[in-house]
Amino acid sequence: MEIRVRYAPSPTGLQHIGGVRTALFNYLFARSLGGKMILRLEDTDRTRCDERYVENLYSTFSWLGIHWDEGPDTGGDSGPYVQSERFELYRKYALELVDKKRAYFCFCPQERLERLRAEREAAHSAETGYDRKCRDIDGKEAAARAAGGEAHTIRLKIPLGESTRFHDVLLGDIEWKNDDVNPDPVLLKSDGFPTYHLANVVDDHLMRISHVMRAQEWLSSAPLHAIMYAAFGWEAPLFCHLPMVMGDDGKKLSKRHGAAGIDEFRGEGYLPQALINYVALLGASYVEGKDLYTLEELAANFSLEKLNKAPAVFDYKKLQWYNEQYIRMQSDGELAALCLPGAVQAGLFGAAGQAPSGAEEAAFTAAMPLIRERISFPAQAAEKLRYLFAEPALPAAAEFIPKKSDLKTALKLLRIARELVPALAAARTGEEAETFIREEAARRGVKPGDLMTPLRAAVTGSRVSPPLAGSIRILGAEKTLGRIDRAAARLSSGEP
């Protein structure tokens, strides 16, 4: 069997986690077996479709690094891949079902259908859907009325008193009573537009889709689609209804739980590798004991047998953990490129939006090792490093004083630290600087931590900062000494 899967979104909204998870699982399944992934745009809902949503789809998957083999933008031998360009096909196949007596022309106006619905509601009737009024109109009469221009739809004949059975790769054998299927649903609307069900089945057949992998919310459509495949005499693809993605309250993931749209995650600073890695684990397992995967590794280890039936709970903290791991994997240059736009916007180099000079950009890149383990998102870099690009305000005198010490001792320690600055600024590595500090502290009979406390406050403006030795190396001896002297003068004056 040739493996052919599809992602078939309706361009009526921005891409979100659930849709991306469906696309990703289809992509991984195809790649795991050397198959092909097809993108199809199901744009028959013309009132809600918008080209900006199409652009968002392309932008999202380009950013994530997921590429289909056939689609509107890549071509292929099963196109067109946009449903609004396939209307003649849908009418042809709807009429084929009429000829086979598996569908029929319905002449009921919308007003009658609305009146029927209102009457049932008033009577508290359990009946729903169409009452099949036109089902038994003589075929020749119906065809003549349709050919004569009378407004009509085409409805599918649901076999009565039967059950429909199909197999789901994940959920097993499923049996559905036809009485519970939407009664004789419309296939082709009066304006010639196909319904979702007709276009979906026709397209999947003509595009030779081998596996339909979609969220379990579509499970209720599967019996209807199975009936349609049987009506056409076509072999149905294998169904695999994927577990839902839920919030921590057990409800479908949405904005009420936090970010759900990919643009939101992207704007918050999540890396595509982190999203791919985490989303791939929502409802699937790969290698026991392994958390981090490349896209290629995910594909190599993906299997339908490793999918979970139970819904997957989206954990924002776990996603953040993945983001931190991928941030730490970046080289200095890569991380600087990720962090620089946010730093410019935050005014790290002057006014908001002001680009850095060559020297500032070099210092920014050199500072990446100082924050790599201390940020979860690129936008956090600016505040972590602001002290390197503008002299910080001096903190209160108490911030300079080590625990169980006093101001006089803090001043003494600050003077000792001043003597060490030239060597610290010249140290080639953090390890070399730390060794030097420990040795000098021991030689002078002070604790390394006590020695660094007033120095850190003077240089960074805080008792908590990125590694101090690395900061001094980037600032240089001259700037560092100037900050120490300013702090010592303030402390000597007795200001609080």
pLDDT at position 44? 85
Q: Are 410 and 491 in contact (CB under 8 A)?
A: yes
Q: Are residues 92 and 238 in the same domain?
A: yes
pLDDT of residue 256: 75
- Give yes or no: residues 238 and 91 share one domain: yes
One domain for residues 233 and 377: no
Note whether 235 and 346 are same-domain residues: no
**Exposure pattern of 9-33 as b/e (b: 16+ CB <10 Å)?**
bbbeebbbbbbbbbbbbbbbbbbbb
Tell which residue, 77, 65, 64, has the closest CA to residue 36.
77
- Using a pLDDT cut of 90, give the percent of the chain over it: 94
Cα 30 to Cα 7, 241, 315, 341, 431: the distances in Å are: 11, 16, 27, 36, 48
CATH code where residue 456 lies: 1.10.10.350
Q: Are residues 132 and 214 in the same domain?
A: yes
For residues 396-422, average pLDDT: 95
Residues 372 and 483 grouped into a single domain:
no
For 35-98, strand residue ranges (E) read: 36-39
The residue with tokens 């299997």 is 303
Number of Cβ within a 10 Å radius of residue 132: 15
Which entry of 251, 255, 306, 309 is annotated as an active-site residue?
A: 255
* Interval 155-167: pLDDT, tens: 999 999 999 999 9
Q: How confident is the model at residue 353 (pLDDT cuts 50, 70, 90)?
A: very high
Q: Are 380 and 445 in the same domain?
A: no
- Cβ burial, residue 93 (10 Å; 0-12/13-18/19+): buried
- 3-state SS, residue 7: strand
Please report whether residue 185 resides in a domain.
yes
The last residue of one of the domains, among 203, 220, 242, is 242
Within a domain: 117? yes
pLDDT tens digit sequence for 184-240: 999 999 999 999 999 999 999 999 999 999 999 999 999 999 999 999 999 999 999
Question: Domain for residue 454, yes or no?
Answer: yes
Please name the helix (run of DSSP H) or strand (run of DSSP E) that holds residue 434, with its range, or none: helix 430-444
Please check whether residue 262 lies inside any domain of the structure.
Answer: no
Q: Would you say 276 and 30 are in contact if contact means Cβ atoms under 8 Å apart?
A: no
Tell me how far apart the alpha carbons of residues 278 and 1 are, in angstroms, rounded to a whole number: 30
Same domain, 122 and 236: yes
Rg (CA), the chain: 33
Average pLDDT, the chain: 95
Question: What is the maximal distance between C-alpha atoms in the chain?
Answer: 108
**pLDDT per residue over 419-476, tens digit each?**
999 999 999 888 999 999 999 999 999 999 999 999 999 999 999 999 999 999 999 9
| Residue 2 predicted with pLDDT over 90 | yes
385 and 345 belong to one structural domain: yes
Same domain, 184 and 203: yes
Last-in-domain residue among 196, 226, 242: 242
Percentage of the chain lying above the pLDDT 70 cut? 100
Assess whether 340 and 425 both reside in one domain: no
Cα dist from 300 to 138, 172, 278, 294, 296, whole Å: 56, 25, 16, 10, 6
At residue 46, does pLDDT exceed 80? no
Domain total in the chain: 3
* CA–CA gap between residue 50 and residue 56 (Å, rounded): 10
Residue 186 one-letter amino acid:
V
Q: How many CA atoms lie within 13 A of 409 on its CB side?
A: 15
In the annotation, is 100 catalytic? no
Average pLDDT over residues 310-323: 95
Domain that holds residue 380: 332-389
Angstrom distance (rounded) from CA 368 to CA 354 = 20
Same domain, 414 and 341: no
- Structure pTM? 0.92
Q: Give the whole-angstrom CA distance, residue 71 versus residue 39.
A: 5
Establish if 436 belongs to a structural domain: yes
Higher pLDDT, 1 or 56: 56
* Whole-number pLDDT of residue 254: 78
Q: What is the DSSP letter of 375?
A: -
Q: Write out the two tokens for 400.
A: 């300079």
Please name the residues in contact with 242: beta carbons below 8 A apart, sequence gap of 6 or more: 21, 22, 25, 170, 213, 214, 215, 216, 283, 307
**Measured CA distances, 116 to 132, 189, 196, 421 (Å):** 12, 19, 23, 87
For residue 51, count CB atoms less than 10 angstroms from its CB and return exposed for 0-12, middle for 13-18, buried for 19 or more: exposed
Out of 371, 389, 407, pick the residue that ends a domain.
389
Phi-psi region of 453 (alpha: psi -120 to 50; beta: other; left: phi over 0): alpha
Does 257 map to a domain?
Answer: no
